[in-house]
Amino acid sequence: MDRMSELPDFIIHKIMSHLSPKKVAQTSILSKRWNYLQTSFPILEFNQNHFMRKGRLTGTGGVLHEKRFVKFVDVTLGRFCRLEYCMEKFRLKVCLFNLKISSRIDEWIRLAVEKEVKEFDISPCRIYNAYRDAVYTLPQTIFSAKLLTTLRLSSCKIEQPSDTLMLCSLKSLTLKGVCINEQMVQKFTSECPLLEDLLICSCWGLKHLRVSKALKLKFIQFHNPSDKLVSVEIIAPSLQVCWLVVNYSSRLCIDMAGCTHLKELHVNGGSFTDQDFHQLILKFPFLEHLYVYKSMLLERIIISSDRLKRLKIRSCPGLKAIHLDTPNLISFSYYLNWIPIAVTNAPYSYWKVSIRPYSDLDTSWFMNLTKFLGVANQIEGLFLSLTLKKISFNLEGVRESFASFRCQVPTLNLSVNVCAGVPFSDYRALLDGLLWSCCPWTLHVTATGEDEHKFLQWLYEELRNRCVNCCNSHNIKCWRHYLKDVKILSTLPMEDWRRKNRKLLNRNDDDLRDVWPINQHVIMSFNLDWVQ
């Protein structure tokens, strides 16, 4: 006899837990023992998708598949329930929901609860439009699942029970596209004593979000882009991480005074005034990470904190000034269309700055850029995404304001869109301005199309063939006088470049995608050697 057959059931179940439901079902045919192992496998996963063939979703084909699916779930679940096992997980995905199947789902949930299920994942989806009006209403039996630790629901309706919830083991609750009212959310948070994670995403029926008496709650993620939401009130003394993704044009009343231990806050939308924003931030003395996105009205960000470590600001179009008194800030990341004024006390922070300007670039733009970057201790990377229209730069205008030519940005990443018909010589002003304000050691330039490739060639020639018969009577001269040498480091397709530089940039994939969309781009990297 093969010694592998000595492996105990629980190890084989462990192996099965890493296989797809289909593969698990296939093991039933291996032998009688495996057939039993499959029957007793405590993770029950049913996906109606597996029962459908393409193009046969409606009409008699659909009905037939639905019957097959219902029968399979009935039989499999029935067989499991006759065994002396507890259920680990019950996962159900119904993609062709109608009211007929609804009573079956009720029964399946009842059986799973009886078998002391620990993890529920139910999505009676309505993605096929045949039964658009039908919504599954969750049966009340689910609220008596005492051993349930994880509950994930999507596309269904939750009606509020009059009794107290018995979900005394529930740690994690996820609601996606669920119809729920504010009292029910409040009930979940106040009556599930162990609740730690709460995710509410695109749920309907909520005008107010009220989370109260959630003593163990550590993590909240709330996505509600609807403009019907009026207020958010969270009282959760243990809360560590909070994501609020809300409509960016409607003004929202947010009260999070009861979350004094918050460490990480992501705010997306919300239309804060300066006053609202600063009052909110003041409530969190232990805040270490702050991410602000799409805050349309915000004009000033003033933060004074010796705890703050990471700050990210993105798409806040009205932002004019940033004041940071954050001595322990490690990273500051900024992604916007214009350059604000910055005043900082953040001596150890690394800056990542992405700017995609709308306006034409002129001398004052380059001066603002220089001033903004000038307050940084260290610029880890500067990403500029430019459409080359009108660019002007006059060195005379800046000579008086700045004492010397110096390196500010070790790595400059440039992504350009060339406008047809403009001679490249018009872009000399761009080079003059950028190299003067950044003076990078490494320059990465992305070329997206034919014109951009020509631009690259022009750029390289321009860097190589420098004529220094200028600036003779001035102490501060243009970049041409300081550049000793230029070398091409590499020319790589986008994908290779990203792979090679991932560590260097310490950014994850998504971040980079934001900066440069993937196409058949080429990135050319130059090494610039400056006179010290």
Partner 1 sequence: MSKLGQAKRIIFLKTADGQLFEVDEPVAMEFEIVKSFFDENEDAADDTVVPLPNVSAEPLAGIIEFCKAHVEFRANGAAGKDEVKKFNAEYIKEKSNEQLKELILAANYLNIKEMLDFLTETIANRLKNKSVEYVRAFFGIENDFTPQEEEAVRKEYEWAFEGVDED
Give the DSSP letter string of 332-384: EEEEESS--EEEEE-TT-EEEEEE---SPB-HHHHHHHHHHHHT-SEEEEEEE
Determine how β-strand 208-211 pairs with β-strand 442-447.
Answer: unpaired
CA dihedral 219, 225, 230, 234 (to 10 degrees): 0
Nearer to partner 1 by Cβ, of 219 and 222: the residue is 219
Please classify residue 369 by burial: count the beta carbons closer than 10 Å to its beta carbon, then call 0-12 exposed, 13-18 middle and 19+ buried: buried
Q: What is the DSSP secondary-structure string of 184-240? A: HHHHHHHH-TT--EEEEES-BS-SEEEE-S-SS--EEEEEE--TT--EEEEE-TT--
Q: Are 66 and 88 in contact (CB under 8 A)?
A: no
In the complex, which residues of this chain contact partner 1 (CB under 8 A)?
A: 1-8, 11, 14-20, 22-23, 25-35, 47, 49-54, 68, 72, 75, 93
Instruction: Read off the tokens for 154.
Output: 């999507």
Return the number of other C-beta atoms located less than 10 Å from residue 194's C-beta.
14
Phi and psi of 15, rounded to 5°?
A: -60, -45
Strands 350-355 and 341-345: unpaired
Q: Which is nearer to partner 1, 75 or 168 (CB)?
A: 75
Report in angstroms how near the CB of residue 504 gets to partner 1 at its nearest: 16
Distance CA 532, CA 482 (A): 8
Dihedrals φ, ψ of 489, to 5°?
A: -80, -50
Q: Which of 231, 198, 232 is nearest to 214 (CA)?
A: 198
User: Which residue carries 């009861």 as its tokens?
Assistant: 258
Minimum CB separation of residue 97 from partner 1 in Å reads: 16
Least separation in angstroms between residue 17's CB and partner 1 is: 8
Phi, psi of 108 (to 5 degrees): -60, -40
